Structure 1
Amino acid sequence: MVDRLTANEAIVVCAQDLLARLDDVTVHLSKQLAGSVPEFFEDEDLVREVEASAYGNVASMLSVFRAENSAEDVPIRAEVTAFATAVARRQIPLESLIQAYRVGQTLFSRLWMDALAGHIADQDVFIAALHRSFDELNIYLDRVVAQLVGDYERERERWLRGEAARRTALVGRLLRGDRIPIDHASRQLDHDLRAPQTALVAWTASHGEVDLQLAALETRLNSIASAAGVARMLMLPAGTCTMWAWIAGNFDAEQLSDGDANRGGPEVLVAAGQTIHGDDAFRISHEQALRARHVASHMTSPAPLTLHADVATVALLANDYDEARRFVSRTLGNLAYRTTVAAQLRETLRVFLQEGGNTRQASERLFMHRNTVLYRLRRAEELIGVPLAKRRLAVEVALLFIDTFGDEMLPPASPFDAQSGAEADEPAISPIEPV
Structure 2
Amino acid sequence: MADHVAALSGEVARRIAARLADLTPEMTTLFVDTIPEFHHDRAVQRLMVASTTSNLSAVVDMLMLGISLEDIVVPPAAATYARRFAQHDLSLEALLRAYRLGEHMFLQWGIQDLRRQALPADDALAVTSHVALLLNGYIDRVIEGLIDIYRTERQRWQERSDAAHAAQVRAVLAAEELTISVAEQMLGVALRGWHTAAVAWVHSDSAAAQLGTVGLLLTEASGRTPMTVYADASTIWAWMFFPGRPSVDVDRLAARLTEHDSLRIALGEPGTGLAGFRSSHEEALRARQVAEIDARPTQQLYPHAQVALAGLLIDRRDAVRLWVQRTLGELAREDKAMARLRHTVQVLLEANGSYTEAAARMHVHKNTVLYRVRKAEELLGRPVADDRLAIQVALLACDQLAATTKTPGPDTSVAAVHLQGRKPDTG
TM-score (norm 2): 0.51
In structure 2, distance between residues paired with 1:359 and 1:370: 6
| Residue of structure 1 aligned with 2:227, choices 223, 226, 234 | 234
8 Å Cα contact 1:253-1:274 kept in structure 2 = no
Greater alpha carbon shift after TM alignment, 345-354 vs 362-371: 362-371
AA in 2 matched with 1:362: A
Using the TM superposition, give the Cα deviation of residue 221 of structure 1 relative to its aligned residue in structure 2, in angstroms.
1.4
| Cα distance, 1:163 vs structure 2 | 4.7
Q: Quick one: distance in 2 between partners of 1:340 and 1:221?
A: 34
User: Counterpart of 2:223 in structure 1: which amino acid?
Assistant: V
Q: CA deviation at 1:394?
A: 1.3
Instruction: Check if 1:402 corresponds to 2:398.
Output: yes
- Structure 2 Cα separation of the partners of residues 259 and 253 of structure 1: 13
Q: Does 1:245 align with 2:238?
A: yes
Equivalence for 1:316: 312
C-alpha distance in structure 1 between counterparts of 2:337 and 2:299, whole Å = 27
CA contact (8 A) 1:296 1:302 kept: no
Tell me how far 1:313 sits from its aligned partner. Answer: 2.0
Counterpart CA distance in 2 for 1:330 and 1:267 is 36
1:409-428 superposed matches below 5 A: 409-413=403-407
Give the counterpart letter for 1:321 in structure 2.
R
In structure 1, C-alpha distance between the alignment counterparts of 2:360 and 2:254, rounded to whole Å: 31
Q: 1:314 to 1:331 in 2, by over 3 A?
A: same
Partner of 1:58: none
- How far off is 1:319 after superposition? 2.4
Separation of aligned partners in 1, 2:358 and 2:261 = 41
In structure 1, give the amino acid aligned to 2:193. Answer: A
The corresponding residue for 1:384 is: 380
Structure 1 residues 163, 399: CA separation in 2 closer, same or farther (over 3 Å shift)? Answer: same
CA deviations over 1:335-373 (Å, ceiling 9, x no partner): 222455434432332222111123343344455665664
SS in 2 for 1:293: helix
Give the residue type in structure 2 aligned to 1:238: A
Cross-structure match for 1:294 = 289
Answer whether contact 2:329 2:408 (CA < 8 A) is retained: no
Structure ID, larger Rg: 2
Q: Among 344, 347, 366, which residue is 2:343 paired with?
A: 347
**Aligned twin of 1:306:** 302
Secondary structure at the aligned position of 2:232 is classed as: coil
Are the counterparts in 2 of residues 339 and 414 from structure 1 also a CA contact under 8 Å? no
1:200 pairs with 2:198: yes
Matches within 5 A, 1:38-53: none
Root-mean-square deviation (Å): 3.3
Gaps of 5+ in 1: 1-157, 417-435
Equivalent in 270, 273, 277 of residue 268 of structure 2: 273
- Indicate conservation of the 8 Å contact 1:223/1:259, yes or no: no
CA contact (8 A) 2:267 2:283 kept: yes
Structure 1 position 176, deviation (Å):
2.2
Question: 1:220 aligned to 2:213?
Answer: yes
Residue of structure 1 equivalent to 2:8: none
Q: Which secondary structure state, in structure 1, belongs to the residue aligned with residue 302 of structure 2?
A: strand
The change in CA–CA distance for 1:351 and 1:164 in structure 2 (over 3 A counts) is closer
The structural deviation recorded for 1:386 is 4.1
Confirm or deny that 1:178 pairs with 2:173.
no
Q: C-alpha separation between the residues in 1 aligned to 2:191 and 2:356?
A: 49
Which residue identity does 1:358 align to in structure 2? S
Letter in 1 for 2:217: I
Contact (CA 8 Å) 2:191, 2:272: kept in 1 or not? no
SS of match in other structure, 2:266: strand
When residues 166 and 375 of structure 1 are mapped into structure 2, their CA distance, relative to the original with a 3 A threshold, is closer
8 Å contact kept, 1:195–1:248: yes
Shift in Å at residue 271 of structure 1?
Answer: 1.0
1:187 to partner: Cα distance = 3.3
> What SS does structure 2 have at the residue aligned with 1:192?
coil
- The gaps in structure 2 that reach 5 residues or longer are 1-155, 411-427
The residue that corresponds to 1:107 in the other structure is none
SS in 2 for 1:224: helix
- Counterpart of 2:406, as a letter, is P
Contact 1:274–1:309 under 8 Å retained in 2 = yes
Q: Tell me the residue number matched to 1:121.
A: none
Which residue identity lines up with residue 216 of structure 2 in the other structure? S
The alpha-carbon distance between structure 1 residues 278 and 189, as it changes in their structure 2 partners (threshold 3 A), is closer
Mapped partners of 2:366, 2:225: distance in 1: 52
Decide which structure has greater helix share.
2
Structure 1 position 292, deviation (Å): 0.8
Q: Distance in 1 between matches of 2:184 and 2:403?
A: 43
CA separation of 1:389 and 1:226: change in aligned 2, threshold 3 A: closer
**Alignment-derived partner of residue 327 in structure 2:** 331
Is 2:357 the counterpart of 1:361? yes
Partner amino acid, structure 2, of 1:412:
K
1:234 alignment partner AA: M
- Measure how far apart 1:167 and its partner are: 3.1
- Aligned residue for 1:252, secondary structure, equals coil
Amino acid at match of 2:405: P
The 8 Å contact of residues 215 and 228 in structure 2, kept in 1 or not, is answered as no
- Secondary structure at the aligned position of 1:167 is classed as helix
Alignment correspondent of 1:31: none
TM-score by length of 1: 0.50
Judge conservation of contact 1:220–1:261 (CA < 8 Å) in 2. no
Seen in structure 2, the aligned counterparts of structure 1 residues 271 and 341 have a Cα distance that, compared at 3 Å, is: closer
Number of residue pairs aligned between Structure 1 and Structure 2: 250
Structure 2 CA distance for partners of 1:365 and 1:238, relative to 1, 3 Å: closer
Question: Match of 1:29?
Answer: none
Residue 271 of structure 1: SS of its match in structure 2?
Answer: strand
Post-superposition offset of 1:291: 0.7
